[in-house]
């Protein structure tokens, strides 16, 4: 993922992308204390910018981080745009903004003002629906908990990492992740939606899935788009009975699933959902 010769921003200062920004005593390195946002930039504009920053600040409050007065959407957007220009990535890019703990004692941190780092990567592909559907499977070795911390994009990423490795070993595009109740809640990098008889469903946040930006967008737009979208628990049997399945995240938009094991899926309504989404973000 590293791009040679690019720059990053750490705590407001420019560094080379290979600069050392944490020590062995860092709380994120030791304990996974941190959160992140991954954003898509198209033609110099961060898609769903306010939604990303709102989720970031909510996560910081949940982790008991202090939010400095200058740590705002406006200030961070300026830094992101500056970095994009410096790395010549204004047209199409992925941005990762990570907020993480400092070098403090586990039980008695003296400073709850976190570090932050901004990274950028070039994205060559345009935002479009995948022509070839994904093949995915279910990873059941790790079960995701269902609490308030499950809904944030945490740096405690081990279950997703192992599920991604499992997908690679099986030559899948992604793995579906289960919660402690034995139900499917999301994939390694995306929220999951399924369609049955032209009705769209997605697991509720109480099932432990990340409060995804695209997920929230689709739920908020269900009335104006004339799409029937509801929250529902996702048992394995629901997957086998579904007509269509798709994944969503803020960088890729929508990705439709073609197969889970021997079960094949269509992409009829998925195409309509994607077209409605593109109309709204372009306008």
* pTM recorded for the entire structure: 0.93
Q: How many CB atoms lie within 10 A of CB 168?
A: 12
Q: What is the DSSP letter of 133?
A: P
CA 90, CA 104: separation in Å to the nearest integer? 36
Query: Are the C-beta atoms of 175 and 144 separated by less than 8 Å?
Result: no
The 3-state secondary structure of 56-93 reads HHHHHHHCCCCCCCCCCHHHHHHHHHHHHHHCCCCCEE
What parts of the chain have a pLDDT lower than 50? Answer: none
Q: Write down the number of H helices and E strands in the chain.
A: 7, 15
CA angle 110, 116, 120 (to 5 degrees): 170
CA 94, CA 109: separation in Å to the nearest integer? 32
Give per-residue pLDDT as tens, 166-179: 999 999 999 999 99
Query: Are the C-beta atoms of 204 and 230 separated by less than 8 Å?
Result: no
pLDDT of residue 225: 74
pLDDT of residue 224: 73
pLDDT of residue 5: 62
pLDDT of residue 92: 92
CA 118, CA 93: separation in Å to the nearest integer? 13
CATH of the domain spanning 134-282: 3.20.10.10
pLDDT of residue 282: 56
pLDDT of residue 110: 62
Query: Are the C-beta atoms of 221 and 276 separated by less than 8 Å?
Result: yes
CATH of the domain spanning 7-122: 3.30.470.10
pLDDT of residue 131: 92
Closest to 66 in 3D by CA, of 1, 116, 18: 116
Q: How many CB atoms lie within 10 A of CB 265?
A: 21
Those residues with Cβ within 8 angstroms of residue 100's Cβ, 6 or more apart along the chain or in another chain: 22, 26, 27, 28, 33, 34, 35, 114, 115, 116, 117, 155
What ranges do the domains of the chain cover?
Answer: 7-122, 134-282
Q: Where are the beta strands (DSSP E) in the chain?
A: 7-10, 13-16, 34-42, 45-46, 92-100, 115-122, 134-144, 174-179, 184-187, 191-196, 199-202, 229-231, 244-249, 253-260, 263-264
pLDDT of residue 61: 94
Residue with tokens 């709102």: 54
* Alpha-carbon distances of 278 from 15, 68, 125, 267, 275, rounded to whole Å: 35, 35, 15, 16, 5
Give per-residue pLDDT as tens, 75-101: 999 999 999 999 999 999 999 999 998
Q: What is the DSSP letter of 154?
A: B
CA 55, CA 192: separation in Å to the nearest integer? 19
Start-end of H helices in 91-204: 158-169
């Amino acid at each position: 993922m590293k791009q040679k010769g690019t720059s990053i921003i750490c705590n407001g200062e420019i560094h080379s992308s290979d600069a050392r920004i944490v020590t062995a005593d860092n709380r994120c390195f030791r304990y996974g204390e941190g959160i992140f946002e991954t954003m898509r930039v198209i033609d110099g504009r961060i898609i769903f910018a306010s939604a990303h920053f709102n989720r970031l600040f909510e996560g910081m409050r949940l982790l008991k981080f202090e939010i400095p007065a200058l740590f705002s959407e406006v200030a961070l957007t300026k830094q992101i745009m500056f970095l994009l220009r410096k790395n010549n990535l204004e047209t199409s890019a992925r941005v990762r903004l990570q907020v993480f703990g400092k070098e403090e004692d586990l039980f008695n941190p003296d400073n709850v003002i976190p570090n932050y780092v901004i990274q950028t990567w070039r994205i060559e592909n345009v935002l479009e629906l995948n022509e070839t559907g994904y093949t995915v499977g279910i990873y059941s070795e790790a079960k995701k908990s269902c609490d308030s911390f499950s809904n944030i994009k945490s740096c405690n990423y081990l279950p997703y990492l192992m599920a991604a490795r499992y997908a690679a070993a099986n030559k899948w595009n992604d793995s579906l992740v289960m919660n402690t109740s034995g139900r499917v809640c999301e994939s390694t990098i995306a929220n999951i939606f399924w369609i049955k008889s032209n009705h769209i469903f997605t697991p509720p946040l109480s099932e432990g899935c990340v409060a995804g930006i695209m997920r929230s967008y689709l739920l908020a737009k269900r009335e104006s788009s004339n799409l029937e979208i509801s929250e529902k628990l996702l048992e394995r049997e629901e997957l086998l009975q579904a007509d269509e399945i798709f994944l969503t995240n803020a960088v890729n938009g929508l990705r439709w699933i073609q197969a889970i094991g021997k079960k094949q899926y269509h992409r009829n309504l998925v195409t309509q959902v994607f077209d409605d989404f593109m109309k709204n973000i372009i306008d």
